Amino acid sequence: MFRFQSFHLFGVIGTAIITGIISVQIIKRFNLKSMEGQYIKIMPKTFHKGHVFGSLIFGIGWVLTGACPGPMLAQISYGYPVVLITFLSAIAGTWTYGYFRKDLPH
């Protein structure tokens, strides 16, 4: 994907983002409610250094494993059970982050 030699995945993500943007804009413009009867309100996230450092680290793992958490699950059940080890390692990574969180720059 990061050799930019194939359009396919960019087309998928691009379409997904456009679909998301349009639908969220419609929800906001028309002040739509959820099925539970509440107005839909999306709280934005505050920026911290993890958005930079964590993202870089994620990017490395993303290329090595060829997946982020969602696709990992799909790969496991699709026919690559060894990816279960990848997923368990990801849980270990998350756990390690949680453990050292206060020592990391935010």
Partner 1 sequence: MELLEIVRKPWPWYLCGFLLGITVPLLLFQGNKRLSISSNLRHLCAAFFSGGTIFFRYDWKSQLWNLYFAAGILIGGLLAGLWLTSPNPVNISDETFVILNAMGVHDFNEMLPTEVFRWSSLITLRGFIFIVIGGFLVGFGTRYAGGCISSHGLMGLSNLEWTSLVAIIFFMTGGILTTHFLLPLLLNIK
Within positions 62 to 81, which residues make up the interface with partner 1, using CB under 8 A? 62-70, 72-81
Which residue from 29, 30, 31, 93 is in contact with partner 1, where contact means CB under 8 A?
Answer: 93
Shortest separation between residue 29's beta carbon and partner 1, angstroms? 13
CA pair distance 24, 21, nearest whole angstrom: 5
The DSSP code sequence of 56-95 is HHHHHHHHHHS--HHHHHHHHHHT-TTHHHHHHHHHHHHH
Under the binding rule (CB under 8 A), the answer on residue 51 touching partner 1 is yes
Does residue 30 belong to the site contacting partner 1 (CB under 8 A)? Answer: no
